[in-house]
Amino acid sequence: MDLRLKQLEAITRRHFLSANGLGLGAIALSSMTGGATATPPVSPRIDPTHPLAQRQPHFEPRAKRVIYLHLTGSPPNLDLFDYKPELVKRDGQDCPAEFLEGRTFAFTSGVPKLMGTPRTFRQYGESGAWLSDAVPHFHAADIVDEMCFVHSMYTDQFNHAPAELLIYTGSPRSGRPSMGAWATYGLGTENQDLPGFVVLISSGVQPNGGANSYGSGFLPSVFQGVQCRSQGDPVLYVSNPGGMDRDLRRRSLDALKTLNELQAAELGHPETLTRIAQYELAYRMQVSVPEVMDISRETQATLDMYGAKPGASSFANNCLLARRLVEQGVRFVQLFDWGWDFHGTNEGSGLTKGLTDKCATMDKPIAALIRDLRQRGLLDDTLIVCGGEFGRTPFREGRTAKSKILGRDHYPDCFTMWMAGGGVRGGLHYGATDELGFRVVENKVHVHDLQATILHLLGLDHQRLTFRFQGRDYRLTDVHGNVVEDLLA
């Protein structure tokens, strides 16, 4: 379609320079290098009338879909997955000055006390993974040996919202597309009757980054995450209002489509065509979403395995829903579970009873998800990613220094995340922190590297998956990121 917006774009000086031989700078570079220039970025060709249609990846993918489990607030890695016996020995000692000089922490000042974990660690599985007693359902060899632990993650942000936005959108500020939006923009989705990107939220609280953590930014809005609920109407505003049946809804949408097509022809804005596609998807979702979101269709044995209860709102229900969604062809499923900010300011956010209680809502359904995907033949090409937005300090949180309840402050320099299935090496422990858990000393992995690796597993080159906005090409990893080849099976 001849869109007037594209015509207006074409007459700007910036567009002219960028579109002609990649700009005058590229012409000069070409003359200096004998005509050799870099491969230009490649944006997928999107049919605005069918924006979620499947598209070919850049190369053969290892994973077809992603389930991303975000533990909002960031779990204490030193009390779950990164055992530090030397820190236990030095529990209660003053924190060495070298780790404090020039540093700012969210809630800690002065000289805090080192704090070894109060949890009991042992090794499990053939991989000999050190795991805390807080996650007993991960101890089974068929679970822990599927997990690929990255102990050397680090980020640039130490407050929740900016750190969460950085890990999902590549920027600590609002306005960029989220990872799930980039994935569906690049690949489309298998089931045209369901959204390509679905968001499930448990514990009653939205992500720290708000809807920006699963938004589409400047990408067409059809690629944003659609929030589904395990309680009440699966998707808000999709059901017919009172007095409108399905036939009347169909005739209403046909009238809206005609009006939108007239507006698209007159103004040439591609978002108008996206709006038509979204209305049509919503109409199809009225039938498809209630069916896939109805976990009462599962056997009692499956419900018990997850700890799920039909009609409830829980992380367990959402893990089961994630399996049902990817089984039906959804490309990217994002779970946000609030309540992992273990400062120790109350018993619920402490490292003993608080962590035990919170992990009890998490490790059983995740273990069930891994087993369920595997027995259905879906684990090999479904990538599971799990973690928070940063780490926790190896010392006591400043506000609770004299409390009996133990807690840790925010810490960006090192933390642990894990992945499973989808082409990663199960049983791998990648990277390492020092003996006190302050610094990465082996194989540093920045959040941009994680983003590049996830896209790579989906068959997407993070440097080539771009979108032109305000005169330049944007990508999820911005100008950073390297695929961590050692994580690949």
Say which residues have a Cβ less than 8 Å from residue 204's Cβ, sequence separation at least 6.
313, 338
The C-alpha atoms of residue 385 and residue 399 are separated, in whole angstroms, by: 32
Length of the chain in terms of residues written: 489
Give the separation between CA 146 and CA 139, rounded to whole angstroms.
11
Could you tell me which residue, 382 or 220, shows the higher pLDDT?
A: 382
Residue boundaries of the structural domains of the chain: 1-40, 65-234+294-487, 241-292
Summarize the confidence of residues 193-202 as an average pLDDT.
94
Question: What pLDDT sits at residue 250?
Answer: 73
How far, in Å, CA of 294 to CA of 311, rounded?
9
Distance CA 366, CA 67 (A): 11
What does DSSP assign to residue 346?
A: S
319-378 pLDDT tens trace = 999 999 999 999 999 999 999 999 999 999 999 999 999 999 999 999 999 999 999 999
Identify the pLDDT of residue 48: 77
Residues of the chain above pLDDT 70, percent: 85
CATH assignment of 65-234+294-487? Answer: 3.40.720
Per-residue pLDDT band for 13 (boundaries 50, 70, 90) equals low
Q: Whole-prediction pTM value?
A: 0.87
Asked whether residue 145 carries a pLDDT value surpassing 50, the answer given is: yes
Q: Where are the alpha helices (DSSP H) in 22-125?
A: 24-32, 85-89
pLDDT at 33 over 70: no
Is residue 237 pLDDT above 60, yes or no?
no
**pLDDT at site 389:** 98
Tokens of 255: 């009238």
Tell me: pLDDT of 39 over 60.
Answer: no
Q: Residue 108 burial by CB count (10 A; 0-12/13-18/19+): exposed, middle or buried?
A: buried
Mean pLDDT of 423-430: 98
pLDDT at 190 over 90: yes
Q: Which residue has the higher pLDDT, 278 or 457?
A: 457
Mean pLDDT to the nearest integer, 267-279? 71
Q: Which amino acid is at 195?
A: P
| Percent of the chain predicted with pLDDT > 90 | 72
If one compares 482 and 14, the residue with the highest pLDDT of the two is 482
16 or 131, greater pLDDT: 131
